[in-house]
């Protein structure tokens, strides 16, 4: 039985609206996927998004470069297998990622790759509304430069500390000697104390300059000037 023309027109109109809605929803989904992809690719560190079994769902450009594979080829791979094949623990021990993934809470691990880079692996679970994990967000950060700067800073401070202790170690025996006037003339003792004090002051100035270069979070210049003035007053008081 043929439908009235009016009903046919209404059905066709409804179908057109449904098709337009589906097309709009598909376009929104494509835009969302493009936004997520571009956002991940814009991150400076390697990022892997996995499901609950550790299978890679998304990988950004840096991750693809780190594993020397295309981002699309990383999808479906095991994140645990990828990381265990490419990295070791910081001390060189084989990486076993299973225990960290099975605990279900955020974690951080210090790693090293085959090229000698120092890495920080961060894992954050992706949780559903009822707090059940549905996968992981894994990021791998290259901290080689930060660790190298930290070691240089510690080494510089160790040398500076040794150099600053040396003049004080020389001044103390001179003061003890001065308690016995017959041993050394007072003027000679004071002259040597002044020389060591000036050396300590000069080394402190060099330490302040070095600390500003080594430690990016050092104090401001006004504090250094006040410290220099106080040190100069102390030195003049010693010599007079």
pLDDT in tens, 80-131: 999 999 899 888 888 888 888 888 789 999 999 888 889 999 999 988 777 6
Kindly report, residue by residue over 10-44, the tens digit of the pLDDT: 888 889 999 999 999 999 989 888 888 888 888 88
Closest CA to 234 of 200, 206, 189, 203: 200
Helix (H, G, I), strand (E, B) or coil at 136: strand
Higher pLDDT, 151 or 192: 151
Selection from 54-58, 146-150, 236-240 with the highest mean pLDDT: 54-58
What residues contact residue 234 under an 8 Å CB cut-off, 6+ apart? none
Question: Is 197 exposed, middle or buried (CB count within 10 Å of its CB: 0-12, 13-18, 19+)?
Answer: buried
For residue 179, pLDDT beyond 60: no
What is the pLDDT of the chain when averaged over all its residues? 77
Q: Please state, in angstroms and rounded to a whole number, the distance separating the CA atoms of residues 132 and 39.
A: 25
Instruction: Dihedral sign for Cα 47, 49, 52, 56, please.
Output: negative
> Does position 237 have pLDDT exceeding 60, yes or no?
no
State the DSSP code for 23: H
- Phi, psi dihedrals of residue 163, rounded to the nearest 5°: -65, -35
Whether this model's pTM surpasses 0.85: no
214 vs 144: CA distance, rounded Å = 16
Q: What is the DSSP letter of 94?
A: B
Question: What pLDDT, on the 0 to 100 scale, is given for residue 79?
Answer: 92
Distance of alpha carbon 95 from alpha carbon 193, whole angstroms:
58
Confidence check: pLDDT of 223 > 50? no
């Amino acid at each position: 039985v043929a439908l009235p023309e009016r009903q046919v027109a209404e059905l066709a109109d409804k179908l057109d609206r449904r098709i337009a809605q589906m097309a709009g929803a598909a376009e929104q989904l494509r835009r969302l996927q493009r936004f997520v992809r571009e956002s991940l690719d814009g991150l400076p560190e390697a990022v892997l998004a996995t499901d609950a079994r550790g299978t890679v769902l998304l990988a950004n450009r840096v991750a693809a470069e780190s594993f020397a594979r295309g981002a699309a080829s990383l999808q479906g791979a095991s994140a645990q297998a990828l990381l265990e094949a490419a990295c070791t623990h910081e001390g060189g021990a084989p990486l076993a990622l299973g225990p960290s993934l099975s605990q279900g809470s955020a974690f951080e691990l210090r790693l090293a790759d085959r090229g000698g880079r120092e890495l920080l692996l961060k894992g954050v679970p992706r949780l559903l509304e009822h707090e059940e994990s549905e996968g992981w967000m894994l990021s791998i950060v290259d901290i080689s430069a930060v660790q190298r700067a930290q070691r240089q800073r510690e080494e510089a401070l160790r040398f500076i500390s040794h150099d600053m202790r040396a003049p004080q170690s020389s001044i103390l025996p001179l003061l003890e000697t001065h308690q016995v006037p017959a041993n050394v003339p007072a003027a000679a003792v004071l002259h040597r104390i002044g020389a060591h004090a000036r050396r300590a002051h000069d080394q402190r100035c060099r330490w302040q300059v070095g600390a500003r270069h080594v430690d990016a979070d050092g104090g401001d210049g006004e504090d250094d000037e006040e410290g220099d003035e106080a040190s100069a007053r102390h030195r003049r008081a010693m010599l007079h």
